[in-house]
Amino acid sequence: MHTVVVGTSGVTASDVLAVARGGARIELSAEAVAALAAAREIVDALAAKPDPVYGVSTGFGALATRHISQELRAQLQRNIVRSHAAGMGPRVEREVVRALMFLRLKTVCSGHTGVRPEVAQTMADVLNAGITPVVHEYGSLGCSGDLAPLSHCALALMGEGDAEGPDGTVRPAGELLAEHGIQPVELREKEGLALLNGTDGMLGMLVMALADLDTLYKSADITAALSMEALLGTDKVLAPELHAIRPHPGQGASAANMLAVLKDSGLTGHHQDDAPRVQDAYSVRCAPQVAGAGRDTLAYARLVAERELASAVDNPVVLPDGRVESNGNFHGAPVAYVLDFLAIAAADLGSIAERRTDRLLDKNRSHGLPPFLADDAGVDSGLMIAQYTQAALVSEMKRLAVPASADSIPSSAMQEDHVSMGWSAARKLRTAVDNLTRIIAVELYAATRGIELREGLTPAPASQAVIEAVRAAGVQGPGPDRFLAPDLAAADAFVRGGHLVAAAETVTGPLQ
């Protein structure tokens, strides 16, 4: 099994994906263990002094003015975990919780939190055992980080609360730890706070969304190319020299992908022989510009994620010179903004894909295709309601594009009076990514049918490879009306699993 070694300098996106989705094992580097021990010595020294230090010998948030005596500090750390584990609503997905815990471990191992090495090792042991704490949908305001979700994870480390075992069954966390020979942690000064105070949930969801959207943007380039073929559009608008004079990198990449898919097509431009069109509609002609802008948004979001993956997010932090200082690095604004940016870009990509689907189904705009791509229009409804479903998804995408990060709601007796709502931004982005996958699947379904209805014309070799692969995956071609939902589900699985990109790349080679 793949192993991820966690050191002091952060982790990579591929590390997060390996642990969250691939079940990779985790090891702590010797450097990380040494840094943990050194930082703990500083915290222990401060804890022994009479002077109050936030998170070490004081209360938290609006209660930070109270000095806590030594005999109550272990109780203080337990209490912060128990009281902050106040989430409600549906369970959060297993991969999100694993990413959340792994990224908290990443910060703990930085040597800036003051957590003992044995606590960090327990975090790794729980992940390696396949134990996943139950985390709920609601509870995080994205400041101070993802408090409630992280608290539910810390609660499981203490042997309390519920968790899902490797068999998928939810049971008391203490029972699962015992079965795997893991001793529950007894938290000491600062440790409870250090386990709760970070942007780890929103960052984990950002990393996974970036991976999914990378595939979806390639998929959208492919379906846009297929729609262009089915509509007998012209690929002249994809010429590199046209995109060179407006040098947005994403735009050039999308145009190049479409051009690669359409190479040697017998459909593109065919309309010029018998029904001249000066220009294709915007949804066809401007596909690289819209998808390209989204790609450039992805690039910026990836930069933010890389910076955050290299960060140590905690409050207070232990500095190399021995100071323990309060700070505001836990604020989720940098991550929250890009999560919202991605939801906006995804909504626009879904919107333009739906417009191409609608054009394919409209006999007045499809340049010779039957109404709704039906076998016997009137008797058959064809893909009429598939487009309704796609339109409903697009409408939902527009609602999900409303930024969460523009909101703030004060908490903790006005001590935490401006929050990021980054967790909420991440949760709605996950829904947006799911919906975008379905939207692209509907365009794929319509475009492949449209191409097959162009009798006597030969599609591009890459398009043909996609058609053959999607038919082999159980998505049926033209014909009389049938139960449509299974076809749409198969198309969704085809896109979601990366099979659309893989099929095209058997001819084009790697797409950008």
The pLDDT of residue 276 is: 60
The single residue of 54, 217, 337, 445 carrying the catalytic annotation is 54
Does 54 qualify as catalytic in the annotation? yes
Average pLDDT, rounded, for the chain: 94
- How much of the chain is helix, strand and coil, in % rounded to 5? 55, 5, 35
Residue 412, pLDDT score: 82
pTM score, two decimals? 0.95
Task: Convert the pLDDT of each residue in 76-129 to its tens digit.
Answer: 889 999 999 999 999 999 999 999 999 999 999 999 999 999 999 999 999 999
Long-range contacts of 370-376 (CB under 8 A, 24+ apart): 370/453, 373/446, 373/449, 373/450, 373/453, 373/478, 374/481, 375/478, 375/479, 375/480, 375/481, 376/480
3-class state of residue 505 by DSSP? helix
The fraction of the chain above a pLDDT of 70, given in percent, is 97
Is the predicted pLDDT of residue 273 greater than 60, yes or no?
Answer: no
| pLDDT more than 90, % of the chain | 84
What local confidence, expressed as pLDDT, does residue 271 receive?
Answer: 62
CA triplet 99, 102, 107: central angle to 5 degrees? 125
3-state secondary structure of 414: coil
Tokens describing residue 474: 């159980």
- Going by C-beta distance under 8 Å and a sequence separation of 6 or more, which residues neighbour residue 422? 140, 142, 143, 146, 199, 202, 332, 333, 335, 336, 339, 404, 405
460 or 414, greater pLDDT: 460
**Confidence (pLDDT) at 1:** 74
Q: Phi and psi at residue 312, in whole multiples of 5°?
A: -115, 105
Q: What is the pLDDT of residue 148?
A: 95
Give the model's pLDDT for residue 286: 98
What Rg do the C-alpha atoms of the chain give, in angstroms? 26
Predicted confidence at residue 331, as pLDDT, reads 92
| Of residues 346 and 64, more confidently modeled | 346
The yes-or-no verdict on residue 71 having pLDDT over 90 is: no
Return the ∠ at Cα 246 (arms to 240 and 248), rounded to 5°: 90
Of 142-146, 186-190, 249-253, give the lowest mean pLDDT range.
142-146
pLDDT at site 469: 98
Higher pLDDT, 51 or 333: 333
- Cα separation, 183 vs 62, in Å, equals 33
- Lowest mean pLDDT of 236-250, 257-271, 448-462, name the range: 257-271
Mean pLDDT of 161-166: 98
**For residue 188, what pLDDT is reported?**
92
Q: What is the pairing mode between strands 3-6 and 25-28?
A: parallel
Measured at the alpha carbon of residue 489, what is the angle toward residues 488 and 491, in degrees to the nearest 5?
A: 65
Please report the pLDDT score of residue 74 as a whole number.
82
